[in-house]
Amino acid sequence: MNPEATASHPVFCTIVPPHVLDKLARLDDPARSQRALSTLEHDALQRTRRRITTVRGLGAPTATPSDKPNRTIYDAKHQETLPGKKVHSEEDKPSKDASVNRAHAGLGATFELYLKVYGRHSIDDSGLPLNATVHYGENYDNAFWDGQRMVFGDGDNDLFLDFTIPVDVIGHELTHGVTQHTANLDYFGQSGALNESMSDVFGSLIKQYALGQNTSQADWLIGAGLLGPNVTGEALRSMKAPGTAYDDDVLGKDPQPATMDDYVKTSRDNGGVHINSGIPNHAFYLLATALGGNAWERAGHIWYATLTGGELDKDAQFADFARLTVASARTLYGEGDALQALLKAWSQVGVPAT
């Protein structure tokens, strides 16, 4: 990847889509509305800081490829200053703070999948230290990757719980770092939806790998365990059945489409990046379940090779990505069942792959 590519367009990526927070901010319920507004304001502030940091230039941390992660956890103590107070290093004993331990474990699970399955040394493939901050803000209903670290809110214990709970959320956000260091997909429209989908796909694979699940055992949900006790829903997104993750009087209904027939044209959410990602998500699910076994193996290798192979343009559309996955499948597995399952998966979601 061009080393200047990352500096050309900063990306600030959150797990809870802005369209969800926008809806909550318009509620008649003052407490819930204010929490959503506060989260949106925090996100806007961090997005601005990300742009300023990118313009000034990120200081590259010293990193050496290693087979062991280098994790550091910070505590924001419910403030908004990053990174916060350093509270846990790689060799420290488990903390009394469950959020710290979950963040540490999630960073490790992400590092392990990328190293053991794909031979990647951390998110930049050069041993980049993995940093995370917990307890960000007051009742902050989100988690984000800011280009340098993972940041987790505690949730409000009403609509959202602690954002360190689902390991796939941690894997999702760190995979934005992998994308940043490889294809660096533009965060708008279909390329942005691909960016989000990459994080959902590998976030799901990180969870499946950590739990030792095959394709039939996996739930294919993103953010299961994150929704609070007052929400009717299972998760933030479903790769198996996009559009069914939640249907709630407060959050609304999951808007993700599964196929191009229901593609959502919108100027919000950076052109629907968290919405239309359901289409490539579902294509991956269809491929992985058709092949069976472990999704991180053949299906995962096709996606990883396409993301990191150097041919994926930063403004790639769904069809561009699909065609490159076909090329990757041929290179890796020839003309056999993997290729045929891949072509069928893209056909089922309405994306041309040839």
Which active-site residues does the annotation give? 173, 274
CB burial of residue 28 (10 Å; 0-12, 13-18, 19+)? exposed
**DSSP class of 150:** E
Q: Are 164 and 1 in contact (CB under 8 A)?
A: no
Tell me the DSSP string of 171-201. Answer: HHHHHHHHHHTTT---SSHHHHHHHHHHHHH
Structure tokens at 32: 């819930």
Q: Which one-letter amino acid corresponds to residue 50?
A: R
Distance between CA 287 and CA 194 in Å, rounded?
16
Residue where the block lists tokens 């230290």:
129
Distance between CA 172 and CA 110 in Å, rounded?
9
- To which H or E segment does residue 305 belong? helix 298-308
**Which residues, including other chains, have CB under 8 Å from residue 3's CB and lie 6 or more apart?**
none
Distance between CA 90 and CA 73 in Å, rounded?
9
Q: Supply angle C-alpha 54, 277, 135, rounded to 5.
A: 55
Q: Which residues of 251-280 are buried (b: 16+ CB within 10 A; e: fewer)?
A: beebbbbbeeebbbeeeebbbbbbbbbbbb
Residue 220 backbone zone (phi > 0: left; psi -120 to 50: alpha; other: beta): left
Q: Which one-letter amino acid corresponds to residue 7?
A: A
Q: Are 207 and 113 in contact (CB under 8 A)?
A: no
Q: Which one-letter amino acid corresponds to residue 350?
A: G
Structure tokens at 100: 């710290």
Structure tokens at 292: 């069976």
